[in-house]
Amino acid sequence: MKTEDLKKKALSIRLNTLKAIQKSGFMGVGSAMASVEIITSLYYGDINLKAVFNVSPFKPGWEGQDYFILGKGEATPVLYSVLADKGFFDESELNFFAQVNSFLQARPFYKVPGVGLSVFSSFHALSQALGLALSLKSEKKDNKVFCLIDSSQFQSGQIFEALTMASHHNLNNLILVIDDSGNQEEGLIRSVVEIGFLQNKIDSFGWQVYRVSDGHNFDEILNAFSKAFNIVRRPVCLWCNTVSGKGVPLIEGKEDYFFAGLSENELNLISQNIK
């Protein structure tokens, strides 16, 4: 898909996500918007006409498929919007996202077609991805495992266990994408617990780190994926700088909206102004 088409796709994903968030009362609109380009690049992007991420709604359980473990709970409606758009389930299901009796749970749920693995606690995601990558490696399979997490997770300890282990096993089939908007639920990361310069930290664990200075620029994201695929003996991390609420004028860059919901009025206002 060309860059212009990716932009159009991201706009459509963004709108569907916003609607799902508003209907459900889900919290985390700013956080979700920050991840739209990353997830769109993964599912729709290609490098020299070869898909970044191999998955198909028409081939469930396909041995050649890649895996995506979403460890950023607030981006769940983005993932569901993408999966609906891809044809894993009907788009009308998004109207019931995170609501009672809906199969679209507020966090990635294995019963949702295209999800595969439940990630109820985002802090577990990298470990879950690690296990999957270890399994594939020991089965001598080439499938890739992508994992998206929020940078604030570096305030918790389990992630460092997983970083160490992945490096120890030279898991070049594991690609960690960090969405770093500088925000977390409680406010700015630096005002809660500063996590420091991630490049050096992750690099010191034996990972190959590529910085994506604009995590909303498709060319830059795809270029980083391209580099990641050429690494042969190390796990790779794409450290993406993003903006909370990106693409939505009313909330873009506004700290308070990172973990906020969306009212009907706000959605109407946004729908008129979003491009």
Partner 1 sequence: MIGENYKIGAFLNNLSKKTKNFVVLNSLLRKKLNFEDFIKVYEDRYFDFGNGVANMVSAGSGFLLRNRTPIAFAYTDLLIGHAYDNIRNDFCLTNSNIKIVGFSSSFDNGLKGPAHQYFEEIGVLKNLPNLKIITPICLKNFYEYLEKSLFEFGPVFFCLNDSLLNEFENIENNFLNEKTDNVVLSYGKIFEYAKEAVELLKDDGFSIEIIPFEEVFPFNMTKFQHLLSVKNVVVLEDQNENGLYLELLKNIDFNLFKGKLSFLGIQKFFIDSGKPEELYKKNSLDYLSLYRKVKEILL
List Cβ neighbours of 57 (8 Å cut-off, separation of 6 or more): 83, 86, 87, 88, 113, 114
Q: Considering only residues 244 through 263, tell me which ones interact with partner 1, judged by CB under 8 A.
A: none
Site string for partner 1, 208-247 (x = CB under 8 A): ----------------------------------------
Does 165 engage in binding with partner 1 (CB under 8 A)? yes
Decide whether 83 or 262 has the Cβ nearer to partner 1.
83
Task: Identify the sign of the CA torsion 237, 238, 242, 248.
Answer: negative
Question: What is the rounded distance in angstroms from the CA atom of residue 193 to the CA atom of residue 157?
Answer: 13
Q: Does 121 bind partner 1 (CB under 8 A)?
A: yes
Do the beta carbons of residue 220 and residue 213 sit within 8 Å? yes
Q: Note whether 161 binds partner 1 by CB under 8 A.
A: yes
Name which of residues 54 to 113 contact partner 1 (CB under 8 A). Answer: 67, 69, 109-110
Closest CA to 124 of 101, 102, 149: 149
Nearer to partner 1, 29 or 83 (CB): 83
**Alpha-carbon torsion, ordered 129, 188, 43, 78, to 10 deg:** 100
71 beta partners: 149
Among 11, 51, 134, 231, binds partner 1 (CB under 8 A): 134
For position 154 contacting partner 1 by CB under 8 A, the verdict is: no
Residues that bind partner 1 (CB under 8 A): 67, 69, 109-110, 116-118, 120-121, 124-125, 127-136, 138-139, 145, 158, 161-162, 164-165
